[in-house]
Amino acid sequence: MSPSETPEVVLHDLRAGDGLPLVLVHGFPLDHRMWDEVARFLPDGLAVVAPDAPGFGDALLTESEPSIEGIADAVAEALAARGVERAVVAGMSMGGYVALALAERHPGLVAALGLVDTKSVADAPEARDNRLRIADEAERTGSVAPVRGMREALLGETSRATRPDLVAEVGAWIEEQRPEAVAWAQRAMASRPDRTAVLAAYGGPVSVVVGVEDELTPIEQAEHLVESSHDASEAALVLVPDAGHLAAVEEPEHVAGALARLHARVTR
C-alpha cells in the first residue's frame, strides 16, 4: 500500500438504533472499548458507533502516512460505506483531534461536535519532541513500555487513590495495543496543526466535557474550546467531578448525559 492511501479504521456498533448516529472516537493509547460504559448509559434507540483507529483494537496498521487527517478521512469513508452521511461526532483526547479534523475536512458529516478531555491547539515544541521520542522508543523496544505509565496519568487523583481495579483495567487495555500503532499515533499527533480556527468556523452545536481532575488537558483547555467556539454562548461546558483525562471511563454516566443532551440539540 502506498503511504498516501487512507489508513484503516474498524467501526464497532456499541448500540443499535435508528436515526442520526453518535460516533465516538477513542483516545490514545486505547481503543473503542473505552466507550462501552458510556454507550450503556445512552438513551435507548440511539445508534452508537465507535471506530478503532489505525493499528488499535481490531484495526490493522497499514503503510499509510501517520496523520490525524488520515484517521478522519478513514472514519468518514467507513461511515459513508454504511450510508451514514451525517452524525453527531464526539472524540476524547486524540479522538477530539480527529473530531476537529472531521469538522474541517468533512463538515457535512458533523451534525454536532463533542470534545471530551481534549484541546484544539497544536503541541508545544517540547511536547512534540517527546511524542517523537516515545514513537522511536516504542519501535526500538517493540513494546508499549514507553506509554505504560499512562495508566495512572490518564486517570484522576480520585480514581488512582480509590479504584485500583480501574487502574488495572486501563493498564490491561494499554498492554494489548500494538507498539507500532503507538508509534504511528504519536507521530500523527505530533504533526497535527492548531485547529482552533476550525472550531471557530464550525456552526453546529458544540459540547465540551472535561474531568475536573484532568492533568493532561485541564479545565483551562476546555474553557479555551468553549471561548473559541463559533457561538461561545451556546457551547456547553460540562465539568465531570472525581474524574481525570479518562472521564468517559471514570464517570461514564455523567459523560453519557452530556453527549445525550448534545445529540438532542440536533434531533429534538
Please give the pLDDT value at position 132: 98
Please give the pLDDT value at position 6: 80
* pLDDT tens digits for range 120-170: 999 999 999 999 999 999 999 999 999 999 999 999 999 999 999 999 999
Band of residue 66 on the pLDDT scale cut at 50, 70, 90: very high
Please give the pLDDT value at position 63: 85
Please give the pLDDT value at position 1: 34
* pLDDT tens digits for range 9-65: 999 999 999 999 999 999 999 999 999 999 999 999 999 999 999 999 999 998 889
Half-sphere exposure of 111 (CA within 13 A, CB side): 18
CB atoms near residue 233 (< 10 Å): 6
Question: Is residue 3 pLDDT above 50, yes or no?
Answer: no
For residue 38 the three cell numbers come to 458510556
Strand 206-211, strand 236-240: pairing: parallel
Q: Which residue has the cell 483547555?
A: 221
Residue range 62-81: mean pLDDT, rounded? 96
DSSP state of 123: P
Of 106, 93, 103, 100, the closest CA to residue 255 belongs to: 93
Domain annotation for the chain: domains and CATH numbers = 10-122+193-267 (3.40.50.1820)
Please give the pLDDT value at position 2: 42
Mean pLDDT of the chain: 96
Of 222, 207, 246, 190, the closest CA to residue 119 belongs to: 222
d(CA 22, CA 12): 12
Give the CA angle between residues 144, 66, 181 to the nearest 5°.
20
Percentage of the chain exceeding pLDDT 70? 99
Band of residue 108 on the pLDDT scale cut at 50, 70, 90: very high
For residue 48 the three cell numbers come to 452508537
Question: What is the distance between the terminal CA atoms of the chain, rounded to a whole angstrom?
Answer: 44
Please give the pLDDT value at position 5: 75
Is residue 31 within 8 Å of 173, Cβ to Cβ? yes
**Is there a cis peptide before residue 193, judged by omega within 30 degrees of 0?**
no
